[in-house]
Structure formats: C-alpha cells, structure tokens
Structure 1
Amino acid sequence: MATTLIALRRKMDSAGDLKSVVSTMKASAASAIGQYERSVSALADYAHTVELGLGVCLRSAEQRSAQSLALPPPRVNTRMRAVVFGSDQGLVGRFNEVAVEHAVAALAQNESRVWAVGERTHARLIDAGIVPEGCFPVPGSVELIPRLVGDILQEVQVPNAAAEDEGPIAIHDTALTLFYNRPNAAGYTPVSQRLLPLDARWQRGLVNQPWPTAQIPEVLDVSSLTLRAFIREHLFVSLFRASAESLASENASRLAAMQRADRNIGELLQDLHARFHRLRQAGIDEELFDVISGFDALQDTHTTR
C-alpha cells in the first residue's frame, strides 16, 4: 500500500512539473505570436508604400518611353526555385507536415530546386522524396528575419535587382516561389506565393493603382535606378512577410498544442488525485478495521474472564 501511494505521489509531482513547463511554453508562444503579428501589420503599410512607388515608376516609364519593366515570358527551361518555411523545433502539431504537403503537391509537375527554412521542414522534405539544396535556420525573433532574407536571396541566387550591369529585366529569368503557413482565425493555412518572375498582370495592377492623394508624384531619376531600388524592396518585403507569417503560424500551432497538452495533463492530474485519495482512504479504512477488530477481541477476552 505504501509503495503504491509513493508511486502515485511521484506521478502527481511529475505531472505537476510538466504542467508548469507547458504553462511557460503557452505564455512564451502567446507572447511571440503578438510580436510577429505586429510586425506583419506594420509591414503591410510599408509593402503598400513600395507598391505605390513601383506603380509610379512604371507609369512614368511608360509616359516617357524610357526603359520599362516590360517582361518577356519566362524561359521554357527555367528551373523553378522554391523556399519552404517551417520550424526548427517540435511541439507544433502538424505545422511542418501541412507546409511540406502543400509544397510537394505544387512542385510535383515541375523540376525544382528547393530550400528549407527549419530543420524539421528539411527532414520532412527528405521523407517526401525531395532533397533540399540547403537549410536555413529559423530566426528566433523579428530582429533576425532580415538576416534570413539576405541569406535566402544570396543562397537561392536571385539576381541583385540593384546591380548596374543586370538591370530589372535580369530577375525575370528567375522563377522563385515561397511556400509557408499563413495565420488565420482557425489557426493557419498553407499558401504559396510566386515571387519571381514579375509578370505583366502584376505590373498593370500597379500602374492602374490610384494615388491616395491629389498630389501626383513624379520620378526625378529617369533611369532605372529608382525602379531597381523598388524591386529590391519588393523582394525584401515579400520574404520578410512570408517569414513573419510563418513564425506567427508556428507559435499559434505551438500554443494550440500546449493548450491540448495542458488540458490532458489537467485531466491526468484529476485522475491521479482521485486514485490517490481512494487508495489512501482504503488504507485508512483498513487500519480502522484492524483497530476495531483488535478492540472487539480485547472485549471478548475480558468478557470470557
């Protein structure tokens, strides 16, 4: 009996310690979600500004018949490049599986070079039959996302839109697609974004985008330098947003997993407490029966005398 009570007590202590760890991870995930969601919200305004600038540059190029961003169709033999965003750590439910399954389904008909963001995603891609070209570590904070963006642009070998000898047309021979999870009311959903090449429909949408004020802007630099700068910012913003949204989704998935674990541990603790009290009460009852039986035996002895 004592051994069983001690074992139950140890299980209850272990479950309590685990519940404390889960509660800490819940708080950490909830806090992280906030900072990534705020960064995505702030970035939306900046992305809109970049799009307005691009539209002005394209409109000015058309009006002045200067070098425009008229995009030729992508080369037939252009090999697609893809970046799949995931996590380095576990306890995120099916977060990595969902992103990888979405990417594998989209890349099934194309010969692609794939890079992974996160060791877990890298392993899932290998299990799915895709050997990634490389693996980038997942940034641990918003401040580290720009470093990841720079590493991706360098490793994936996207032509530098700011280079004088390449010009904006060079990047249209590059096909780059991003696969990641985007947060929503239900948690997250897998999405894909074709980042390159920049197509004519995208250009036309920017050109037709109305300016928000009555003051019509003018591009002072007639050359393509301003245009290249805006394209560079478009690439940066798109990659930054994809990484921030993936991190927000990862922490949302971890928070949901920790909430399920917290609920399961709570139910386990209730069961352990109930078993402990029943077993302890059974032990007390047994001891009382022994005392009563002994008292009755003594009474019988005195009566016989």
Structure 2
Amino acid sequence: MKSLAAVSIRQYERAVESLEAYRRVIDAGWRVLLRHGVADVRESPLKGAVCMIIASDQGMCGQFNEAILKHALAQAPGLAGEGSELAFWTFGEKLRGALADAGYRDQGHFAAPGSLSTIHEKVRAVIQRIEQWRSEKGTEHFYICHNVVIERGGYRQVCVRLLPLDRTWALAHAREKWPGRCIPMLGLPGNLMFKHLLRQYLFAALFRAFAQSLAGENAARLMAMQAAEKNILELLDNLQAGFRELRQNSITDELLDIISGFEALNDENPAL
C-alpha cells in the first residue's frame, strides 16, 4: 500500500507538470487577445460567491477531509463581501456530511474523483454548473479549496480564486513580453475567442486542482500508513520488552525457589 500510494503521488504530479505546458499555451492566447485590445475585462460586482471544496471519499487518509474543511470555513468570511451570500459546492459524500455537521448546507454537490480518468468528466460538469450560475444568478466570484503535496512529504491546504478575471489579471498578462518578434493575428472574433479561452482556462485550473488534491490524498494516505507502521513497531517493542521482563521475573522466581529450597534443606540437615 505504501508503494502504491507513492507511485500514485508521482502519477498525479506528472499530470500536473504536463498540464503546465498546456496552461502556458492558454496564457499565450490571453496575451494575444489582450494586446489586440478586444477583450472587455470589467470589474465584476460582488453579488455572492461560490467556494468549491475538494475532499476524498476513500479511507485511510487521516485528517485529509477535516483539514480542508477547516481551512475553507476559516477562509469563508473573506471570500464573500458584507451582505453577500457564500455558497458551498462539495466534492465527496464524506465532506457533504461534515459540512452539514458544521451547520452549513452545500448548494452544489459532486462525487469526488478517484483517478485521472474520472477528472475530465468532473471538470466538464463543474464548468457547466459555473456557466449556469453565472447566467442565472449573476455570480462571478468562484474559489476552489483543496489540498496539495508539499516538497518534503505531507500536504497543505490552499484556497485559489478561479474567477473573476479582473483588470489586475488582464494588465499582468498584457504586459508580459511576447517571445517572438510578431504578435499572431486573431483567427476568431474577439468575443468568441475570449469564450473559448475562458473554457480552456477553467478546464486547466480545475484539472490541476483535482490532480493536486488526489496527489495530496495519497500523500495523506502514505503518512497515515507510515504512522500506523510506526505505532505497530512501537507496540511490538513494548510487547517484547514486557515479555522479556516477565520472562526474567519468572527465571528470578524459579532461582529464588531453588535457593530457598536449598537453604531449607541445609537448615534441616546441618551435616549437609
């Protein structure tokens, strides 16, 4: 199990690394679009916000779900402005129950992905739900909270803003230096290209979050198994120490019985 968890961590990390090349292509598309000045990026009014929390439905991963839920609830007051409602979307049945126990109700629920092959389906479903909320409710602020692997083993919690793409974001992309001499021409109308780039941006960001969460889940599982192994070894050491002590006491009692019997015989037969 430990070997499987370690291999799985590396598998998800490679998926994230591969996604970085795809993300750079998307960023290049944003730079072209913004340099041509056809993207209409405005400050979005805060009419509410959505906080997506990614957890796990698998066992043997310690405090993985509890840690991310605690982090998300701690971040919640700063995600929605005063007078604005913060909606929670949950990924995982266990998290859904824990959120209800904490006094909150989720307004969107998805099954937690269990492998790379299931991430694509989850990403498409989330993007459709985001577009629905933006269209019907006017919600523009979306955040995603999940666990990520840290360098020296273990995991930590992060909360990332997914939307909106505001002016600060647009200026940062527009000012990045283009690697070549000529900026490519747009092959699509600006609004249509913006729509396609937005969907690809959401896909890359959500896929990355799910893959990082799965890597963190396996890191948590590896930590739990290492802790269990350590506890078992400590228990074995304690049992062996207790056995040696009992054995030594038994030998000592037997020797004392022999010595006591010998002395008793000497007292009864002084000639011996």
Residues 47 and 234 in structure 1, CA contact (< 8 A), matched pair in contact too? yes
CA contact (8 A) 1:160 1:232 kept: no
Q: Distance in 2 between matches of 1:220 and 1:213?
A: 18
Q: Which letter maps to 1:254? A: R
Equivalence for 2:270 = none
2:144 to 172, 178, 181: 178
> Match for residue 3 of structure 1?
none
Aligned residue number for residue 59 of structure 1? 35
Q: Distance in 2 between matches of 1:252 and 1:241?
A: 16
What is the distance in 2 between the residues matched to 1:199 and 1:93? 38
Q: Could you tell me which residue of structure 2 aligns to residue 40 of structure 1?
A: 16
Q: Provide the TM-score with structure 1 as the length reference.
A: 0.74
Instruction: Provide the rounded CA distance (Å) in 2 between the counterparts of 1:172 and 1:215.
Output: 38
Does structure 2 conserve the Cα–Cα contact (< 8 Å) formed by 1:71 and 1:199?
A: yes
Q: Structure 1 pair 178/43, CA: closer, same or farther in 2 (3 Å)? A: same
Report what 2:155 is aligned to.
188
Measure the CA separation in 2 of the matches of 1:291 and 1:190: 66
Shift of 1:91: 3.0
Percent identity over the alignment is 38
Structure 2 residue 109 is the aligned partner of structure 1 residue 135: yes
Q: Distance in 2 between matches of 1:185 and 1:172?
A: 39
Q: Check if 1:100 corresponds to 2:74.
A: no
What is the one-letter code of the residue matched to 1:37? E
- Structure 2 CA distance, aligned partners of 1:96 and 1:239? 18
Q: Secondary structure at the match of 2:131?
A: coil
Q: Which residue of 2 aligns with 1:303?
A: none
Distance, in Å, in 2 between the alignment partners of 1:223 and 1:73 is 19
- Show the 5 A alignment for 1:251-290: 251-279=218-246
1:190-215, CA deviations, whole angstroms, 9 ceiling, x for partnerless residues? 22122122111111212222222345
SS at match of 2:180: coil
Instruction: Structure 2 unaligned segments of length 5 or more: list them.
Output: 265-272
Structure 1 unmatched ranges of 5 or more: 1-23, 63-67, 298-305
**Residues 97-133 of structure 1, C-alpha deviation per residue, up to 9 Å, x if partnerless?**
2221221122236311211112232222222221112
Are the counterparts in 1 of residues 34 and 170 from structure 2 also a CA contact under 8 Å?
Answer: yes
The equivalent residue for 1:117 is: 91
Q: Residue 74 of structure 1 aligns with which residue?
A: 44
Over aligned residues, Cα RMSD in angstroms?
Answer: 3.2
Give me the whole-angstrom Cα distance separating, in 1, the residues matched to 2:66 and 2:93.
Answer: 13
Partners of 1:176 and 1:287 lie apart in 2 by 76
Letter of the structure 2 residue corresponding to residue 238 of structure 1:
A
How many pairs align? 265
